[in-house]
Amino acid sequence: MRLSVHLLRSGDETVLNQLRAKLHPDITLSTGSNLPVPAEYDILVAGRPAREHITASPNLHTLIIPWSGVPESTRQLMLEFPQIAVHNLHHNAQPVAELALALLLAAAKFLIPMDRALRSHDWTPRYEPSPALLLAGRKTLILGYGAIGQRVARLCLALGMEVVALRRRSGAGAGGEIPLATLESLHDLLPQTDALLICLPHTPETRGLIGAQELALLPAHAILVNVGRGSLVDEAALYHALREGRLHAAGLDVWYNYPPDQAARTRTPPSAYPFHQLDNVVMSPHRGGLCRETDGLRTTHLAALLNSAARGQAMPNQVDVQAGY
């Protein structure tokens, strides 16, 4: 079937050519912030479309958000257009899962302060009691069992950790190896949790999910890793739990304050609290989904979605706009 697709952000021409080479021959692709005239696209690829982008084409039946998650402004807009399906891409799932594992290991082994000391030719940490934790045999709780959470679970299993995951529906995952529980079990599971790995999207339901009460339920030796969104964890409660030693360590790739423009990129603190002063925090500037292969992964996954539509097949990764994921 003939299919017209408009990509709102044109991007690098080399990447666009790679995308075009992977598309079904029945797909016509237009790009750019200037909409085609007449606007007759069937599918719009845009993360934060304006209302006019949605209403311009009478043929529009699908919006593809070219990353995982749904910006709140986009969710609110698309609630007004229930006849238009919303899908997203999970091309970043493996890179984010790998970073989650890297943050877990770095936090558990206190690699950052040890690296900093040795760069100053200071070998003292070698001769002091080690703060590093052995991860094998530890109990891991993964919040969110989507494309990222499932990969994180397999990586933790490979380390010899015991894994439980929370999602909307209970059951079993990863070939039955991983018990799945619902969020109603969160408070029961936290006291038994050695490593809490947060892979949930930001939604009205998940905002502030981990607050002072939930952090207090974790054992003092627990490690928290957040690769979901900063808003899922109470900012002040997390800082004070780490500073006061009520939480052993944390690895954070998502934050509470982001640069508003390019000029602010070298002078924007990621939080109102000085996490950078804490030795038990590993900080990453929200780059979990980025690697040298990102553009190739995105074009491959986007082409797969579009080609499914061109063949008349159901497109994967449909978003429940009401729920936000």
Is residue 158 within 8 Å of residue 104, measured between CB atoms? no
pLDDT of residue 249: 98
Q: Looking at the structure, do residues 115 and 217 belong to the same domain, yes or no?
A: yes
Q: Is pLDDT of 1 > 80?
A: no
**How many of the other CB atoms lie within 10 Å of CB of 158?**
9
pLDDT of residue 11: 79
Q: Is pLDDT of 12 > 90?
A: no
pLDDT of residue 173: 55
How far is the C-alpha of 39 from the C-alpha of 7, rounded, in Å?
Answer: 12
Q: Is pLDDT of 172 > 80?
A: no
128, two tokens: 């002091």
**How many of the other CB atoms lie within 10 Å of CB of 311?**
11
Banded model confidence at residue 230, pLDDT cuts 50, 70, 90: very high
Does residue 102 lie within any of the structural domains?
A: yes
CATH number, domain at 208? 3.40.50.720
Closest Cα to residue 62, out of 46, 90, 40, 43? 43
pLDDT digits (tens, 9 = 90+) for 273-325: 999 999 999 999 999 999 999 999 999 999 999 999 999 999 999 999 988 88
78, two tokens: 């698309």
Does residue 277 lie within any of the structural domains?
A: yes
Closest Cα to residue 225, out of 210, 205, 240? 210
Is residue 251 within 8 Å of residue 103, measured between CB atoms? yes
Q: Looking at the structure, do residues 79 and 98 belong to the same domain, yes or no?
A: no
How far is the C-alpha of 14 from the C-alpha of 34, rounded, in Å?
Answer: 20
* Amino acid letter, 273: Y
Parallel, antiparallel, or unpaired for β 171-173 and 178-181?
antiparallel
First to last CA, the chain: 28
Q: Looking at the structure, do residues 217 and 243 belong to the same domain, yes or no?
A: yes
pLDDT of residue 196: 98
Into how many domains does the chain fold? 2
Task: Kindly report which listed range (70-79, 90-99, 168-177, 257-266) carries the lowest average pLDDT score.
Answer: 168-177
List 147's β-bridge partners, or say none. Answer: none
Percent of the chain, pLDDT > 70? 98
Q: Is pLDDT of 10 > 90?
A: no
pLDDT of residue 176: 67
pLDDT of residue 82: 97
Q: Looking at the structure, do residues 168 and 239 belong to the same domain, yes or no?
A: yes
Give 206 or 324, the one with higher predicted confidence: 206
Q: Looking at the structure, do residues 21 and 40 belong to the same domain, yes or no?
A: yes
pLDDT digits (tens, 9 = 90+) for 66-100: 998 899 999 999 999 999 999 999 999 999 999 99
Q: Looking at the structure, do residues 259 and 135 belong to the same domain, yes or no?
A: yes
Q: What is the DSSP letter of 104?
A: H
Contact residues for 279 (Cβ-Cβ < 8 A; gap 6+): 110, 112, 113
6, two tokens: 């408009």
Is residue 153 within 8 Å of residue 142, measured between CB atoms? yes
pLDDT of residue 170: 57
Q: Looking at the structure, do residues 29 and 126 belong to the same domain, yes or no?
A: no
How far is the C-alpha of 147 from the C-alpha of 288, rounded, in Å?
Answer: 14
Domain of residue 265 covers 93-283
pLDDT of residue 54: 98
Task: Kindly report which listed range (47-56, 116-125, 172-181, 190-199) carries the lowest average pLDDT score.
Answer: 172-181
Does residue 315 lie within any of the structural domains?
A: no
The mean pLDDT value of the chain amounts to: 95
Q: Where are the beta strands (DSSP E) in 268-307?
A: 281-283
Is residue 68 within 8 Å of residue 90, measured between CB atoms? yes
Banded model confidence at residue 120, pLDDT cuts 50, 70, 90: very high
Is residue 159 within 8 Å of residue 102, measured between CB atoms? no
pTM: 0.91
Q: Looking at the structure, do residues 274 and 143 belong to the same domain, yes or no?
A: yes
